[in-house]
């Protein structure tokens, strides 16, 4: 009997312990559930124009997104930032990145970027890959163009060059290409004769200077006079006297077609293409005195040459320029025409010697000496022939 009672008591004790354990477990579960429910937060994520609500126990935005079912990349732009603490109802905006391929001077890089335009994407990728790309570098797409998924960006690094053409100096940057392609890019058209300082097929290099010289050729017709020649025919009158015209001379006319070459507007050469005589000249024919012997004043004498001169007279005695006494038979001359000391014959006066000069006696002028003022007045001013013996 006592044995049965002991067994019943043990059963009661065991049943009581199970109950206690169950209660404890329920309490823990309740407590944990309560804690979870208290820390559970719902956040709202906007991406690609759509909003999704996410319930999370994570404390930061980055951790919450990482453990969500959203496809998030490191390059995506998240606002607010990834280290922001999560709060109930927090609104998060994700600007997703897109995959792109970037080729720089033949070397290819693959990555992602959230930049909206080609230009901003290049800045982003340049910084991340350490490429040091510049805004002057050439790109296959417009920098303002919206960036598309899987875009292939091709960049050619530009170098500084100088181009001088049409009076302008252009300092610019350009990716390596031939001189001809560089000029075409700047819309500088070459004409057939133009000169370029560098070969057109040469690939441009840093600090190259390309000078375009505009070459123009034009034809010009020029007419020039052909001077007539003078033909002298010997005539029977004193040598030295003015020629007597038999036939008047007439200039001819000569025509030339000239090619004029201009470089940047400046004439550099002339070349005669063709020429012809339009009108032949007519020679001037004159009679020229050849007589060196004459008979004057009852005498015949030889002379070197004769001059047609304007003759005046003077008197008063004294000494001449050569120191000889002034007397009849002395004349004043211009020594540049008749040397002093020359023996002469003056028509209407007779033999004389050139021994004097005078301030007014210049060129074809002589001043004859007479013995009185009345004789001088009577002589006046005459045109005479003076024969130099």
> Does 286 score more than 50 pLDDT?
yes
Is 6 a residue whose pLDDT tops 70? no
DSSP characters over 182-234: HHHHTT-PPPTT-EESS-TTSBP-TTEEEEEE-EEEEEEEEEEEEPPPEEEEE
Q: What is the mean pLDDT of residues 94-113?
A: 93
| pLDDT (average), residues 281-300 | 93
Tens-place pLDDT, residues 33-69: 444 445 688 988 888 888 988 888 888 988 888 888 8
pLDDT for 37 equals 47
- Protein fold of 159-213: Ubiquitin-like (UB roll) (3.10.20)
What does the alpha-carbon distance between residue 273 and residue 219 come to, in Å, rounded to a whole number? 9
pLDDT at 16: 64
Q: Which helix (H) or strand (E) holds 25?
A: helix 2-39
What's the pLDDT score for residue 290?
A: 93
Q: Which two tokens stand for residue 12?
A: 């009661």
Check residue 364 and give its pLDDT: 96
200-255 pLDDT, tens digit per residue, is 999 999 999 999 999 999 999 999 999 999 999 999 999 999 999 999 999 999 99
pLDDT of residue 304: 95
Mean pLDDT of the chain: 90
As a CATH number, domain 217-286 is 2.20.230.10
294-322 tens-digit pLDDT = 999 889 999 999 999 999 999 999 999 99
Please give the CATH architecture assigned to the domain spanning 98-156.
Roll (3.10)
Instruction: Please state, in angstroms and rounded to a whole number, the distance separating the CA atoms of residues 188 and 209.
Output: 15
Q: CA–CA separation, 271 vs 218, rounded Å?
A: 11
- Provide the pLDDT for residue 57: 84
d(CA 77, CA 94): 6
Instruction: Identify the pLDDT of residue 67.
Output: 84
What pLDDT, on the 0 to 100 scale, is given for residue 48? 83
Each residue's pLDDT tens digit, 260-280: 999 999 999 999 999 999 999
- pLDDT higher at 32 or 135: 135
CB atoms within 10 A of CB 173: 15
* pLDDT score of 12 more than 60: no
- How far is the C-alpha of 130 from the C-alpha of 120, rounded, in Å? 15
- CA of 359: how far to CAs of 281, 312, 365, 381, in Å? 44, 13, 11, 17
Residue 25 scores a pLDDT above 90: no
What pLDDT is attached to residue 35?
A: 43
Q: What class has domain 292-388?
A: mainly beta
Tens digit of each residue's pLDDT (9 = 90 or more) over 166-185: 999 999 999 999 999 999 99
pLDDT at 358: 92
d(CA 191, CA 168): 17
């Amino acid at each position: 009997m006592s044995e049965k009672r002991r067994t019943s008591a043990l059963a009661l004790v065991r049943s009581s312990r199970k109950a206690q354990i169950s209660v404890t477990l329920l309490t823990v579960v309740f407590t944990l559930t309560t804690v979870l429910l208290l820390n559970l937060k719902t956040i709202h994520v906007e991406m690609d124009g759509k909003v999704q609500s996410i319930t999370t126990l994570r404390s930061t935005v980055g951790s919450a997104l990482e453990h969500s079912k959203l496809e998030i990349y490191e390059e995506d732009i998240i606002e607010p930032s990834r280290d922001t603490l999560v709060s109930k109802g927090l609104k998060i905006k994700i600007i997703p990145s897109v995959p792109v391929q970037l080729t720089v001077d033949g070397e290819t890089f693959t990555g992602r970027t959230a930049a909206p335009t080609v230009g901003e994407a290049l800045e982003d990728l340049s910084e991340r890959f350490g490429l040091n790309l510049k805004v002057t570098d050439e790109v296959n797409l417009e920098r303002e163009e919206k960036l598309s998924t899987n875009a292939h960006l091709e960049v050619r690094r530009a170098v500084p060059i100088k181009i001088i053409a049409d009076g302008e100096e252009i300092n610019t940057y350009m990716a390596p290409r031939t001189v001809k392609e560089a000029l075409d890019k700047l819309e500088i058209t070459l004409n057939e004769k133009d000169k370029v300082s560098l070969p057109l097929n040469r690939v441009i290099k840093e600090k190259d200077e390309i000078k375009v010289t505009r070459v123009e050729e034009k034809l010009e017709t020029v007419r020039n006079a052909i001077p007539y020649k003078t033909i002298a025919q010997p005539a029977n009158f004193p040598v030295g006297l003015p020629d007597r015209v038999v036939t008047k001379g007439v200039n001819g006319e000569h025509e030339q077609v000239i090619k004029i070459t201009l470089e940047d507007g400046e004439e550099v050469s002339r070349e005669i293409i063709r020429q012809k005589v339009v009108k032949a000249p007519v020679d001037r024919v004159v009679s020229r005195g050849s007589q060196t012997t004459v008979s004057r004043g009852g005498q015949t004498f030889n002379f070197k040459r004769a001059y047609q001169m304007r003759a005046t007279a003077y008197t008063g005695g004294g000494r001449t320029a050569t120191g000889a006494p002034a007397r009849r038979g002395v004349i004043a001359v211009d020594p540049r025409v008749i040397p002093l000391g020359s023996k002469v014959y003056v028509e209407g006066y007779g033999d004389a010697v050139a021994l004097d000069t005078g301030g007014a006696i210049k060129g074809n002028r002589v001043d004859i000496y007479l013995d009185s003022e009345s004789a001088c007045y009577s002589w006046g001013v005459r045109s005479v022939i003076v024969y130099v013996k």
